[in-house]
Structure 1
Amino acid sequence: MHLRFLGKATSGGQSPTLYATGEDSYVVQGWIVTDEAVLAKLDLDDNETVVEIYARLLSFLESDGLSGTVANIVPPIVHVMENGNYVVKGTRVEDPAVLGQMDIPDHETCVLVEKRVMALLG
């Protein structure tokens, strides 16, 4: 799967990143969610996980033909943090070829979200 960089939301060395794939999906790179209270509220399948991102990261969807404005807080957004960040749910990305295309610090991970699901946000 080839990734196409859409954008980064950077602040203070933190860099959640959004990529489009050639398979009608997105890879969303963000912080590993460790808040037990948040995790306890989520219903995740074995192949799913969540990442925390700046809300402004999703504005880069516009460069791929989707609305860059989040009008609906629905999955893949499964939680809004007190600071306004989004917790995004998706399929855990484990393919070494895909992961090798990204620079992922130890405190971050990424999820795959289908384009049709991401379109529900706008």
Structure 2
Amino acid sequence: MKLRFLGKDSKVGDCPTLYATDRDTYLVQGWKIISDDPRVKLDIPEGQTAVEVPTELFEHLKKDGLPSGEFKRLEDPLMVLTPGGTYVVQGLEVTDPEALSQMSIPHYETVVEVPKAAITALLEEPRGADLQRRAQPAH
């Protein structure tokens, strides 16, 4: 898998990073999330994991030709906004040695792979059917 660095949200000791791949996916490197994290309720299937990243990380999507890094909607379990104002992103856990060798990953971080189409859809304004689905009360 070939990676193209899009950007980093670097603070001291923190380095969430966003990459585009040659497989029409994005790799999101961020802080490890455990499935029983009380801030977000995730049911993480085998082979997947979740990472937490600052919302500003996705501003780098503009470098990949997308119109905005601002998400207009969120979809569980792909993307969850935490009470602290960060995103939790769920996707396939990256285990490809070639891809991992191109990154510097501290022990408290991991990497998920997310389809570009899924990320692009989150940048779009919700359509009528989406709004109707949200408006229906939970049973």
Q: Does 1:100 align with 2:123?
A: no
Give the TM-score normalised by structure 1: 0.91
Partner of 1:8: 8
Unpaired runs of 5+ residues, structure 2, are 124-139
Q: CA deviation at 1:45?
A: 1.7
Q: Does 1:116 align with 2:117?
A: yes
Partner of 1:80: 81
Q: CA deviation at 1:38?
A: 4.1
Q: CA deviation at 1:60?
A: 0.6
Partner of 2:17: 17
Q: Does 1:56 align with 2:21?
A: no
Partner of 2:38: 37
Q: CA deviation at 1:87?
A: 0.3
Q: CA deviation at 1:12?
A: 2.4
Secondary structure of the structure 1 residue equivalent to 2:112 = strand
Alpha-carbon distance between aligned partners in 2 of 1:22 and 1:45, rounded to the nearest angstrom: 25
Alpha-carbon distance between aligned partners in 1 of 2:9 and 2:71, rounded to the nearest angstrom: 15
Unpaired runs of 5+ residues, structure 1, are none
Q: CA deviation at 1:107?
A: 0.4
Q: CA deviation at 1:43?
A: 2.2
Q: Which amino acid aligns with 2:61?
A: L
**Residues 24-55 of structure 1: CA distance to partner in whole angstroms, max 9, x if unpaired?**
0000000001463246x212220110000000
Partner of 2:128: none
Contact 1:74 1:120 in 2 (8 A): no
Secondary structure of the structure 2 residue equivalent to 1:72 = coil
How many residue pairs match? The answer is 120
Q: Which amino acid aligns with 2:94?
A: V
Which one scores higher on RCO, CA 8 angstroms, separation ≥ 6? Answer: 1
Runs of 4+ in 1 over 6 A off after TM superposition: none
Secondary structure of the structure 2 residue equivalent to 1:6 = strand
Larger radius of gyration: 2
Q: Which amino acid aligns with 1:19?
A: Y
Alpha-carbon distance between aligned partners in 1 of 2:37 and 2:44, rounded to the nearest angstrom: 14
Contact 2:4 2:21 in 1 (8 A): yes
**Residues 63-116 of structure 1: CA distance to partner in whole angstroms, max 9, x if unpaired?**
112231111122421x22222010001100011111001000000000000000
